[in-house]
Amino acid sequence: MAPHPYEPPPPLPAENGVHVWRTAIVVPIITFFFVAARFYTRLYLLSRRPTIDDYIVGATMVVSIVHGVLIANATYHGMGLHIWQFTPELNSEYYLWLGISSQFYNLGLAGFKSALVLLYLQTFGLVSVRFRIACYLTLFYTLGYLTANLFIEFLGCWPIEKKWHSELAGHCINRTAANTFFGIGHVTSDLIIAILPLPSIWKLTFPTTRQKIGLSLSLSSGFLAWAVATVRYVISTYNQFTYDRPWWAGISFTFSILELNTGLICACVPTFSPLLSAWASSRVSNFITTWTGGSGVWQNSAEKTPWEDDYHAHLPTEPRETRGRRAPGRGGNGDGAAITPIAPIASRDMATFSPVGYDDDMPLCDLSGLQALAERDKV
């Protein structure tokens, strides 16, 4: 069969390659702010030493940046062009950079998936043997197929150079079958990880159902990564059977970047409760100070109120009576009742509480306090 005619390629990146290049640059920058917020919360607000999932998230951020740089570079070697704009030289360069970037893609997936499972183990693993076993099985499944994917990407052709020099003598495995199999692994592992904490959360007792739903959404943010992975899998599967593969690959690898970075963001979101708690407390305190100072009705006293304390500094390791700020009474004589209830729960190192009230939509609780809830309710 004679080779198809091709047009001289335009200045690169071009076609879908432009969108891939922009995504590869912008999205990791956005992800970096989420990762930085995670470490700010853990190291500064909570004054904790980094745990293994923190190290994994940091390493995965580096992998994500490298993956973005490699994908952006691939757009200068034909990614996103139409098939009739491909030259034989571009074809070899394209598959070379594709193979290199795929290795970092798999490493990044392994990173954020492992970080989420390890976070769940720290939260519920000490109080539920069944949950701990489920986490270990999920880790085994996830890391198992991703390790196989790494080796298949590297050794799928023999000699290895045949992957990007198809004219060489040798053989390759069925890439369509391999990509389909590993794509199913990406989607199913994301779905399992997203569902994993839900049974344990819904066995806990919360002041309101809205708090339980809010925490479920926070710890199951992996559903977002699963949705992106599903879209990427559908597009990449279609790409394997279409004629204009390089052009569709531009769309597929755009979603690969989104999948990796969305998963990394999802691994950071469950750790933001103390940060949101401090932010909400600051907003409430500033509002009250501004309102009372401007109206002259209620001046701040020298006594430090709960939301003005350093994060968790005012809470002992045992439950204490609810404290609140005194507001002016109806008669205007300054006598009022305590408001803003705080419901601490005993934990080994800090308590779970809401500095605003029971009716908050966001359950502003940290993971140590959540573990205390799990120990109390015997998940």
What average pLDDT does the structure give for the chain? 77
Lowest model confidence (mean pLDDT) among 28-37, 207-216, 237-246, 307-316: 307-316
Dump pLDDT digits (tens) for 206-239.
777 777 787 788 788 889 999 999 999 999 999 9
Closest C-alpha among 258, 249, 254 to residue 228:
258
Distance between CA atoms of residues 34 and 270, nearest Å: 11
The CATH architecture that domain 16-271 belongs to is Up-down Bundle (1.20)
Residue closest to 179 by CA, chosen among 280, 275, 113, 105: 105
CB count within 10 Å of CB 361 equals 9
pLDDT in tens, 257-281: 999 999 999 999 888 877 766 665 5
CA gyration radius for the chain?
Answer: 26
pLDDT of residue 123: 82
Confidence of residue 372 (pLDDT cuts 50, 70, 90): low
Q: What is the pLDDT of residue 207?
A: 75
Which is more confident, 59 or 212? 59
Distances (CA, A) of 91 to 15, 94, 96, 169, 302: 16, 5, 9, 17, 73
Task: Give the largest CA-CA distance in the chain.
Answer: 96
Question: Can you tell me the distance from the alpha carbon of 120 to that of 99, in angstroms, rounded to the nearest whole number?
Answer: 33
- Answer yes or no: is pLDDT of 49 > 50: yes
Q: At 178, which helix (H) or strand (E)? A: helix 175-195
For residue range 88-132, what is the model confidence (pLDDT) as tens digits?
Answer: 888 888 899 999 999 999 999 999 999 999 999 988 877 788 999
More confident residue, 32 or 329: 32
Taking each helix axis from N to C end, the angle separating 16-39 and 245-268, rounded to the nearest 10 degrees, works out to 10
* Residue limits of CATH 1.20.1070 in the chain: 16-271
pLDDT > 90 in the chain, percent: 41
Interatomic CA distance for residues 261 and 109, integer angstroms: 9
Higher pLDDT among residues 2 and 349, named by residue: 2
355: pLDDT strictly greater than 60? no
Lowest mean pLDDT among 12-26, 77-91, 198-212, 246-260: 198-212
Amino acid 296: pLDDT = 39
pLDDT at 316: 46
Nearest-angstrom CA–CA distance, 9 and 199: 54
pLDDT for residue 324 is more than 60? no
Residue 301 has pLDDT above 50, yes or no: no
What tens digit of pLDDT does each residue of 362-371 get? 333 455 555 5
